[in-house]
Amino acid sequence: MIRAAARIGLAIVLLVAACAILAPAIAPYDPARSSLDSLQGPSAAHWLGTDELGRDMLSRVIYGARTSLLVGAGAAFVSLLIGAPVGLFAGYLGGGADRLAVPVIDLFIAMPGLVLALIITVMVGPSLPNLVIVLGLVMWPSVARLVRGQTLAVREMAFIEAAVVAGGSAGWIIRRHIWPNVARVVAAQFALTVSLAIITSASLSFLGLGIPPPTPDWGSMVRSGYDYIGVNPVMSLAPGAAIAFTVLGFYLLGSSVE
Amino acid sequence: MTGSTERRSEPILAVEELEVGFSVGDRTIRAVNGVSFSIAPSEALAIVGESGSGKSTTGLAVMGLIQRTKQVHISGQVRLKSKTGRVCDVLELPARALRQVRGNDIAMIFQEPMSSLNPVYSIGSQIAEAVALHRRMSRADSLARALELLEQLSVPNPDKCLVSYPHQLSGGMRQRVMIAMALSCEPRLLIADEPTTALDVTVQAQIIELLKQVQAQTGMAIIFITHNLGIVSEIAHRTLVMYAGEVVESVSAAELFERPGMPYTAALLQSLPRIAADRAPATKLAAIPGSVPSAGALPTGCRFHPRCAHFLAKTCDAARPMLEACAPGHWVRCHRWRDIGDFAA
């Protein structure tokens, strides 16, 4: 059961990744090329129809995978970059470091991520690199909390005591002995973090604070399709389905490898 | 007295009046009280006692593993003669210097060989890493050193052992690997905290034999922390018996079994199971009544008096006895050692 979920998740992720990498080869049109055939429903020429500028929806959805994966993986990586060291040091050193880190982590977790991301994005302005950093800043506390918990468990193991006795410094013990034992769980969490980042970035884009046009982005596509939902519902539904599909893939992968 | 010449050579470790206390709420639990001993190269010292007697705490303090904090009080001296010949007090060393001592001057092995190895690394890389902590060496050289150590410890198929992971080895093998790691930087003192407790009896004997062999080869001093008197007879030159945080007897291993001075030691010896032809099989094993007092609620006077068969009211429960010499090289903490022991006054 769990194996099957992991396989399906992996298949979805690979499929989306293939779309992202091979986009120029498999997309039937240039995603930025507009034409006079605007707001058309699905047809043989345009499988998913066209948007308000006559751009091919299928091509835009395929290219959108690039943006989503880039933002998702990038944000998850940034959150790992901040969260893992904080969790490792707070968990291993304990004492003052831990008493400082835990309230900060709790404070960030208590705030709704989307609202926090909105506020920061408004301050720094929407762009792809900014989005990656902002989402990373919003999501690192859950990574830190997970890593800290795992570190506390590993710290009590006899081989850590043996490493102390062998003369290892705190940094060395964390790097060589704790991190490799914590990394497995973090890897599982990574996929979940990616799915959360994708859905949050899509929400930001839907609210108009995501990737600026003309870069094809699923969240922004759902937003622009929303204005024409009575005329051409596929314009919103297709990128929406792509978001759901991708998030499901990462979620299945992340929640089943633990 | 056997071993007295060895004892006169300059000690590599001298512990003086070691005190360790832990504050819990508004009470202080005195885990170790005024423990003093010294150990010379090639000497094997056993520290014997029940759980809670302070023997492991003493070992941890010697390694500098007990940090002074608001709740942890530690005083006394742990003077170590390092490889460079300098004498330092482990308790006062800054963290960086302490890391130089650990693994390099003093090594330690533990009770749980099952969990003392990191599951994610191969044996070879773990030993190599311990080597590289204190020696500037290439990866290839430190792996070669790891192989050499495993050979020295007569591990069968050492090449295969190097590339295996901890879960693939038996308990005895893992303890050998732990010993190899401990020996990797040629320490002058090895602290073995119940190293054989988790092992089968036959494997126990092998490990003890191995440690004796290594000691003969390297002249390393060994502190054996144990509750197993059988091990004491096999390896130790001298024994420190601890009870409720203090040393109650210090004696050569031979004399320990011949004429123990302290009633507690005598009772411990009597509670050893023995195979004796002249004893009826139905004889019950002697046990010491009661249990070790908690370090937060110590009895007055002699700490062993509530459990002692030779208890004398107004003597044993009045003043705390001192450690007195009852014979050359034999010290005992008992008011009544003259009356009950086998000593010519």
The pLDDT tens digits of the residues spanning B218-256 come to: 899 999 998 888 888 888 999 999 998 899 999 998 888
Q: What is the pLDDT of residue B5?
A: 43
Q: Which two tokens stand for residue B112?
A: 């749980």
Q: Please count the other Cβ atoms lying within 10 Å of the Cβ belonging to residue B224.
A: 27
Within 8 A of A182 by CB-CB distance, chain B residues are: none
Q: What mean pLDDT comes out for the span B247-268?
A: 88
**The complex's ipTM?**
0.74
In DSSP notation, B276-345 reads -TTS-TTPPPP--SS-PPPTTSPPSSSTTGGG-TT--TTTTTTSPPP-EEEETTEEE--TTHHHHSS---
Residue among A157, A158, A167 minimizing CB distance to B133: A167
- B181 CB neighbours in chain A (<8 A) are 162, 166
Burial of B289 (0-12, 13-18, 19+ CB in 10 A): exposed
Residue A159 and residue B103: Cβ atoms within 8 Å?
Answer: no
B120 touches chain A (CB under 8 A): yes
Distant-in-sequence contacts of B79-83, Cβ < 8 A, 24+ apart: B79/B13, B79/B14, B79/B15, B79/B16, B80/B12, B80/B13, B80/B105, B80/B106, B80/B189, B81/B10, B81/B11, B81/B12, B81/B13, B81/B188, B83/B188
* pLDDT at site B275: 64
Q: What phi-psi label fits residue B229: left (phi over 0), alpha (psi between -120 and 50 degrees) or beta?
A: alpha
Q: What is the pLDDT of residues B283-299, one digit of tens each?
A: 677 778 887 787 777 88
CA A11 to chain B, closest CA, distance in angstroms equals 28
pLDDT at A179: 92
Tens-digit pLDDT profile for residues B277-336: 555 556 677 778 887 787 777 888 888 888 888 888 888 888 888 888 888 889 999 888
Tell me which residues of chain A have a pLDDT lower than 50: none
Structure tokens at B34: 């005024």
Q: Looking at the complex, report in whole angstroms how far the Cα of residue A151 sits from the nearest Cα belonging to chain B.
A: 14
pLDDT tens digits, B76-117: 999 999 888 888 998 998 988 888 899 889 999 888 777 888
* pLDDT, tens digit (0-9, with 9 covering 90-100), for A29-40: 777 777 777 777
Helices A179-206 and A218-226 sit at what angle, rounded to 10 degrees? 20
B145-151 average pLDDT score: 90
Judge whether A159 is closer than 8 Å to chain B, CB to CB.
yes
Q: Is pLDDT of B18 > 90? A: yes
Q: Taking residues B2-7, what's their average pLDDT?
A: 43
Task: Decide if B63 touches A, using CB distance below 8 A.
Answer: yes
Radius of gyration of the CA atoms of chain B, in A? 21
Tell me the chain B residues in contact with residue A168 when contact means C-beta distances shorter than 8 Å: 99, 103, 133
Per-residue pLDDT, averaged over B268-279, amounts to 70
pLDDT at residue number B276:
59
CB contact under 8 A, A165 and B103: yes
Where residue B7 falls among pLDDT bands split at 50, 70, 90? very low
CA torsion A155→A156→A158→A162, rounded to 10°?
50
Q: Note the pLDDT of residue A77.
A: 94
pLDDT for res B279: 56
Say what the pLDDT of residue A1 is. 57
**Pick from A162, A168, A181: CB nearest B116:** A162
- Partner B contacted by A177 (CB < 8 A): yes
In a mutational test of the B interface, the residue from A161, A165, A174, A186 whose CB has the highest number of chain B CBs within 10 Å is: A165
> Hey, is the C-beta of A164 within 8 angstroms of any chain B C-beta?
yes
Comparing alpha-carbon positions, the chain A residue that sits nearest to B179 is: A162
Is B117's CB within 8 Å of A162's CB? yes
Q: How many residues does chain B have?
A: 345
| Cα–Cα distance measured from residue B114 to residue B123, given in angstroms and rounded to the nearest whole number | 13
pLDDT at B240: 92
Instruction: Return the residue of B nearest to A154 by Cα.
Output: B118
Asked if B89 has any chain A CB less than 8 Å from its own CB, the reply is no
Q: Say yes or no for a CB contact (<8 Å) between A167 and B116.
A: no
Using a pLDDT cut of 90, give the percent of chain B over it.
Answer: 25
Which one of A161, A168, A169 has the shortest CB-CB distance to B110?
Answer: A161
Q: What's chain B's average pLDDT?
A: 85
Please report the pLDDT score of residue A95 as a whole number.
83
Specify the DSSP element, H or E, that contains B34.
strand B27-39
Inter-chain CB proximity A181 and B118 less than 8 Å: yes
pLDDT of residue A48: 75
The three-point CA angle B220-B186-B6 to 5° equals 15
Cis peptide leading into A214, omega within 30 of 0? yes
pTM above 0.90, yes or no: no
| Binary contact (B99, A169; C-beta < 8 A) | yes
Query: What is d(CA B54, CA B139) in angstroms, rounded to the nearest whole number?
Result: 40
- List helix spans (H) across B153-262: 158-163, 171-183, 201-218, 229-235, 253-258
- Considering only the beta carbons, identify the residue of B99, B115, B120 that sits closest to A180: B120
Six-digit token string for A117? 């991301």
Measure A157 CA to nearest chain B CA, in Å. Answer: 7
Tokens of B298: 């110590």
Which of A200, A156, A151 has the alpha carbon at shortest distance from A174?
A151
Residue B6 has what pLDDT? 44
User: A161 to chain B: which residues are within 8 Å by CB?
Assistant: 110, 116
Distance CA B47, CA B15 (A): 13
Whether B252 and chain A come into contact, CB under 8 Å, resolves to no
B241 at the A interface (CB within 8 A)?
no
Cβ pair B18, B78 in contact under 8 A: yes
Best of B116, B142, B186, B194 to mutate (most A CBs within 10 Å, chain A): B116
Phi, psi dihedral angles at A137 (to 5 degrees): -65, -35
pLDDT at residue A2, rounded to an integer: 66
Residues of B whose CB is below 8 A from A177: 118
